[in-house]
Amino acid sequence: MSKYPKSVVLLALAMTAGSLPVAAAPAATADLVLINGKVITVDKAFAVKSAVAVKDGRIVAVGGKEIGRKWKAARTIDLKGRTLMPGFIDAHLHLKGVSHRSIEPDKARSITELGAMVAAKARELGPGEWVAGSGWDEALLAEKRNPTRADLDAIAPDNPVVLVRAGAHSAVGNSLALKLAGIDAATPDPDGGLIERGADGVPNGMIRERTDLLLRLVPADSAEQMRPSYVRALKDLLALGITSFMEAWTTIDDEPVERGGLAGGGGNAVRGHTFRQLRTIYDQQGEDLPRATLYIMYPGAERLKKFPHHTGFGDDRLKLGPIGESAYDGGFTGPTARTSKDYKGQPGFRGTTFMTEHALQEMVDTSARLGWQLGIHAIGDEAIDTVASAYHRTLSARPKADHRWFLSHFTMLPTEQTMRTMAADGIWTTAQPNFTYNLEGRYLQVLDGERLDRINPVATPISYGVNVVMSSDNLPIGPMVGLYAAVTRKGMAGHQFAKAEAITREEAIRLYTAKAAALTWDEARKGSIEPGKFADFIVLDRDPLTVPAEQLLQTRVDLTFVGGKLVWDRQAN
Ligand SMILES: [Zn+2]
């Protein structure tokens, strides 16, 4: 209670009202107001403001001090100078569901640690049970080498073990796993893959590209068993400041057969997760998750014709994106990306293609005819030339307005002619500048000369008029690594790749927010802090426009809002 007599208080109120005529106007009501921040709007002018008001899940006002006076809200957050910006939109990542058989090799920092995880899981499951997991990366392991069959035999001789490398292009198995797969010294390399061998010709456990030879033997979890791990993976994105993403590896395998599903079901960890499974998760708790757009793996013409939906089907929480990923070539971790020149020290070897040009053209034609956007995986320069040509042939035969087709990855600069064709055809790319950071060692091993300068280009394709957006492809998912690599072009050990491909911080942020929104036709709904757009934004612990570049890697997300709802709070975690 006031310590002053009531009459004095009333007099003071009357004087205040009289001296501030604006206050007489009724305040507008909002659900949430955030004030005293540095609001990076990513609008056309890249304007910086200080306050935002939110109502019914959308931004209703952006501005300065007047916002706090004009808008009365149930909740007001004083940002105390912190930076608020649109949530990141990652245009190409892979959700990982985790089987109860799985360890988390991506968290291991040495082969010893990896071994301890395998040993613990083998004990938990009992002898004979498969132990699996994916995401190890030799660059992050203290020993700086791949784990081998012998490493795993020493730890878990009585359990078959298979561990997939980050990027999913190779896997290592132990002796029991190889035995169950029927792989021994006499086994020839399979189509499209490689069984690595020691000097004595005996397999060392590493299988390149045809990881399915081992993975298909691992018993699948049911959709229900997998669901909690998907929800956790989705919430992990919010902690990284990702409010929308495009999932690059979804299938329609578990649809009814008459709607394009796979005979015999599907939906296990080997084939990736399904549209139906994610739809179930989003129906239950979509409001607490990042907004999702799904790439659908090409299931073949017959099945795709039976599937009743195409690009755009769904809602603001979960919808269908392109027929995409469906790789034309491999990647540089193998290396299996299809390049125009031989790999360093591997005369005659230019990588792999996973389908004929005829099959590629059929996939593009069929998908286009059925109303799908396209986003095929092409990493090596020759693969990019080939896929861009296939797009060009289909678009020449059946012109399509505002198609927003894209190449996933676009990791090595193709010919100038290809970039001109792509620009003329309106083809986009989902680039991963973060590969430069994480795959630095790999690139230096397998490429040389000017080809090292052609890796993960961003500035050059833009200069040709190609639309580029940013994404992570899980190497790693963190957008801050993407920003860092896009502006510095540096690897984790400090090697700097062609500086000419660097872009400014403002550009990098735009490609990871407003520009990325347009790849899913959402430019009017998200990607910037402007009235009318979804209240999808993040609050950071430092300012990505001004911190020293190295500090971008340490920048943390304090708060994440999706549709105006607080869905991540670092303080509470
Ligand atoms: Zn890919």
Task: Render pLDDT for 553-573 as a digit per residue (tens, 0 to 9).
Answer: 999 999 999 999 999 999 998
- Count of beta carbons in the 10 Å neighbourhood of residue 302: 9
DSSP state of 497: P
What's the token pair of residue 61?
């006002």
- Count of beta carbons in the 10 Å neighbourhood of residue 259: 13
- Count of beta carbons in the 10 Å neighbourhood of residue 51: 25
Which residues of the chain does CATH 3.10.310.70 include? 100-215
Average pLDDT over every residue of 469-496: 95
Cβ contacts of residue 550 below 8 Å, gap of 6+? Answer: 484
> In this predicted structure, what is the pLDDT of residue 225?
79
Dist. CA 23 → ligand 1 center (Å): 56
Average pLDDT over every residue of 314-343: 95
499, 377, 373, 518: which is closest to 433 by C-alpha? 499
> In this predicted structure, what is the pLDDT of residue 269?
40
Dist. CA 285 → ligand 1 center (Å): 28
Q: What is the pTM of this model?
A: 0.82
pLDDT digits (tens, 9 = 90+) for 513-567: 999 999 999 999 999 999 999 999 999 999 999 999 999 999 999 999 999 999 9
pLDDT higher than threshold 90 for residue 116: yes
Average pLDDT over every residue of 4-22: 45
Which residues of the chain does CATH 3.20.20.140 include? 326-503
Q: 26 pLDDT band (50/70/90 cuts)?
A: low
Average pLDDT over every residue of 71-85: 97
Q: Is 301 exposed, middle or buried (0-12, 13-18, 19+ CB in 10 A)?
A: middle
Average pLDDT over every residue of 378-382: 97
Dist. CA 411 → ligand 1 center (Å): 10
Q: Which CATH code fits 326-503?
A: 3.20.20.140
Torsion sign (Cα): 388, 300, 266, 291 = positive
Asked if residues 559 and 541 have their Cβ atoms less than 8 Å apart, the reply is no
Asked if residues 84 and 34 have their Cβ atoms less than 8 Å apart, the reply is yes
Dist. CA 127 → ligand 1 center (Å): 35
Dist. CA 355 → ligand 1 center (Å): 14
Dist. CA 470 → ligand 1 center (Å): 14
pLDDT digits (tens, 9 = 90+) for 138-182: 999 999 999 999 999 999 999 999 999 998 899 999 999 999 999
Asked if residues 562 and 243 have their Cβ atoms less than 8 Å apart, the reply is yes
Dist. CA 383 → ligand 1 center (Å): 12
Dist. CA 408 → ligand 1 center (Å): 6
> In this predicted structure, what is the pLDDT of residue 455?
95
pLDDT higher than threshold 80 for residue 381: yes
Average pLDDT over every residue of 46-71: 97
Average pLDDT over every residue of 84-111: 94
> In this predicted structure, what is the pLDDT of residue 258?
96
> In this predicted structure, what is the pLDDT of residue 25?
58
Q: 476 pLDDT band (50/70/90 cuts)?
A: confident
What's the token pair of residue 451?
């080809």
> In this predicted structure, what is the pLDDT of residue 17?
42
The CATH number of domain 100-215, selected from 3.10.310.70, 3.40.47.10, 3.60.10.10, 3.90.1140.10: 3.10.310.70
User: Out of 2-16, 359-373, 419-433, which region has the weakest mean confidence (pLDDT)?
Assistant: 2-16
Dist. CA 230 → ligand 1 center (Å): 20
Dist. CA 24 → ligand 1 center (Å): 58
Task: Give CA–CA dist 192/127, Å, rounded.
Answer: 32
pLDDT digits (tens, 9 = 90+) for 241-285: 999 999 999 999 989 999 999 987 654 444 568 999 999 999 999
**Share above pLDDT 90 across residues of the chain, in percent, rounded to a whole number:** 88
